[in-house]
With several copies, the nearest count.
Chain A
Amino acid sequence: MKKLINESDDVVDEMLDGMTAAYPDLRRLPDTQVLVRDDAPVAGKVGVVSGGGSGHEPTHGGYIGDGMLDGAAAGDVFSSPTADEFEALLDATDSGEGVLAVIKNYEGDVMNFETAIEMVEMEGTDVATVVVNDDVAVEDSLYTSGRRGVCGTILVHKAAGAKAAAGADLDEAQRVAQKVVDNTATMGMALTSCVTPEKGEATFDLPDDEIELGIGIHGEPGTERTDVMSADEITEELTEGVLDDLDLDEGQEVVTIVNGMGGTPLMELFVVNRKLQELIGDHGLETWDAWVGDYMTSLDMAGASITVCAVDDELKELLDAPADTPGLTVQ
């Protein structure tokens, strides 16, 4: 499998340099894989940060900027950043008002972030956390370590970032972040496996006539393998899974996301969005805003996920507030 890379060991390092070369408002902390706003810590503002394995671009560094994140730590491909990287991130983004850490629910991310938080709290930094777990494909039961955090994370960044930008304190920023988490569900599918730079071949085998439903964003196998289906059928599977989980009242307003996994062209995502909006209408729901694009990818995997987030007036105001980042601009 061919990729536009040099050595696979250098890919994250070179990507980060390529990002700061593109976006002068981003700064890389020396000797780390951490990116922060150039003006971090922003005086008087609660910091909002995130991080996790690389390979999900524009997540996470691409959401750094006014109205969203103050910084993000990049791990190696699909691998959590280490605790000391998270520590450097928290240190660099605390202006004294404390930092909200948005964590996707993977044990590596959670444990390394927690280790880092213990360390910075000893130095007097206040940290609040929110753990995103929007992936409904994973049943939440005694048997699992909880649902995974996937594309809904972007909405958490947006809402919490807007709240912090508006001058909220740490508790308030945490409250709205949690509100998004409580009202968001996602489900994804793959047409093909992703290929990591290191391995150079498919992480899982998926024959030409099969697809995988309920996949994660790290090449984990999905929950169900089925024969190839049409875009409409796939959209129905994902949407019904998501709406079942949310169990919304008629007339509820929602934000929808059709998210590409990296290797699927925008054309196909719009085909999915067409059916998604039809289904939203059939369920008596109202789309307040529809996002279509690559927000939370899995390297070059072909496939898509669907996210639905139920919004009230507060969330609408926060999601509509200005944001100026490489991966998302709202004006």
Chain B
Amino acid sequence: MSGDGAVVVAAVEAVADRIQAERDHLTDLDSAIGDADHGGNMARGWAEAAEAVADLADPDAQTAVKTAGKTVLSEVGGAAGPLYGGSLVFASQELEGGVTPETAVAFAETYLEKVQDRGDASVGAGTMVDALTPAVHTFKKSIETDELPPLEALTKAVAAAEAGVQFTVPIRASKGRASYLGWRSVGHQDPGATSTLYIMEELLAVAAGH
């Protein structure tokens, strides 16, 4: 297995474990403002994705990411399936030449674009976009302008995502099921932003370990 592919497989497994551990917490967040299935949706999707990538024989990074995405897409349904899974599939094309700081930035940007495109949500709508946008912006600036080492750039991106999660609390949601609550959505942390942060934390942990 090539180095990059192995990192992706390990990352998907780490995400699956983390999400499983946070399953009830994510469901609780979703029951306050949505339909109480985000924990279950994510846990099922990522567990299957981990199995699927583990079954691949020596995959390159692109194949591993695409397989994980396809599995999430076809397991999850709801809003999360296309957003998490479909965007992974689409963004995986940026990894065709392998994982470099440049392709990682392109991947992150494409992923965010696809999420925004599919979900028609901009920053401040109280969704996962609020976690993703500052993270992707920070990562891109760290690599391209500040020329930081990738691990340091990723660490800063995770901190930015964390700020994004906190940002979802005080604003009124205008996308996702939480939007039906109107002003009652103010004061609630978005489940999708939260799980997005967990995914990034695991990616960082695996990248740091390799």
| Chain A interface residues (CB < 8 Å from chain B) | 75-76, 78-85, 107-108, 111-112, 114-115, 138-139, 142-145, 148, 199, 203, 216, 218-221, 223
Asked whether B179 lies within 8 Å of A82 as measured between CB atoms, the reply is no
A214 nearest in chain B by CB position: B180
Q: How far is the CA of A112 from the CA of B36 in the complex (A)?
A: 19
Q: List 25 A-B contacts (CB under 8 A).
A: A76-B77, A80-B78, A80-B81, A82-B77, A82-B81, A83-B74, A83-B81, A83-B82, A85-B77, A107-B119, A111-B86, A112-B81, A115-B73, A115-B82, A138-B180, A139-B182, A142-B174, A144-B179, A148-B180, A199-B36, A203-B36, A216-B180, A219-B35, A220-B180, A221-B181
Min CB distance, A116 to chain B, in Å?
A: 9
B contacts with A: majority SS:
helix
Smallest CB-CB separation from A221: which chain B residue? B181
Of the candidates A83, A111, A220, A223, the one whose C-beta lies within 8 Å of that of B177 is A220
Shortest CB distance A205–B (Å): 12
Complex contact B175–A81 (CB within 8 A): no
B36 partner residues in chain A, CB cutoff 8 A:
199, 203
Say whether chain A's binding surface is mostly helix, strand, loop, or mixed.
loop
Instruction: Compute how far the CA of A199 lies from the CA of B35 in the bound complex, rounded to whole angstroms.
Output: 11
Complex contacts, B83 vs chain A, CB 8 Å: 111
CB distance from A178 to the nearest CB of B (A): 19
Question: For residue A144, which residues in chain B have a CB less than 8 angstroms away from its CB?
Answer: 174, 179-180, 182
Known interface pairs A144-B174, A145-B179, A199-B36; A111-B119 also in contact (CB < 8 Å): yes
Given that A82-B73, A111-B79 are known contacts, is A220 also in contact with B118, CB under 8 Å in the complex? Answer: no
Tell me if B76 counts as interface (CB < 8 A to partner A). Answer: yes
- Select B78's contact among A79, A114, A139, beta carbons within 8 Å: A79
Residue of B nearest to A116 (CB): B82
Give A78 to B78 CA distance when docked, in angstroms: 9
Residue of A nearest to B181 (CB): A221
**B176→A107 contact, CB < 8 A:** yes
Residues of B whose CB lies within 8 Å of any CB of A are 35-37, 41, 73-83, 86, 118-120, 172-177, 179-182
Task: Name the A residues within 8 Å of B78 (CB-CB).
Answer: 75, 79-80, 108, 112
CA distance A138 to B179 in the complex (A): 9
Smallest CB-CB separation from B178: which chain A residue? A145
Chain A residue nearest in CB terms to B173: A143
The residue of chain A having its C-beta at the shortest distance from the C-beta of B175 within the complex is A145
Question: In the complex, A203→B27 CA distance in Å?
Answer: 13
CA distance A112 to B79 in the complex (A): 8
CB-CB under 8 A from A112, the residues of chain B are: 77-78, 81-82
Measured CB to CB, the closest approach of chain B to A106, in angstroms, equals 8
Complex: how many Å from CA A203 to CA B37? 12
A87, closest chain B residue (CB) = B74
CB distance from B65 to the nearest CB of A (A): 17
Contact A145 B174 (CB under 8 A): yes
The CB with the most chain A CB atoms within 10 A, among B75, B78, B176, B179, is that of: B78
**Cα(A112)–Cα(B41), bound, Å:** 14
**Which residues does chain A contribute within 8 Å of B79, judged by CB atoms?**
80, 107-108, 111
A114 CA / B117 CA spacing, docked (Å):
11
Minimum distance in angstroms from A215 CB to a CB of chain B: 10
The listed residue with most B CB atoms (<10 A of its CB), out of A81, A83, A114, A219, is A83
Question: How far is the CB of B171 from the nearest CB of chain A, in Å?
Answer: 10
Taking CB atoms, residues of chain A closer than 8 Å to B118 are 111, 114-115
B89 to chain A, nearest CB (A): 9
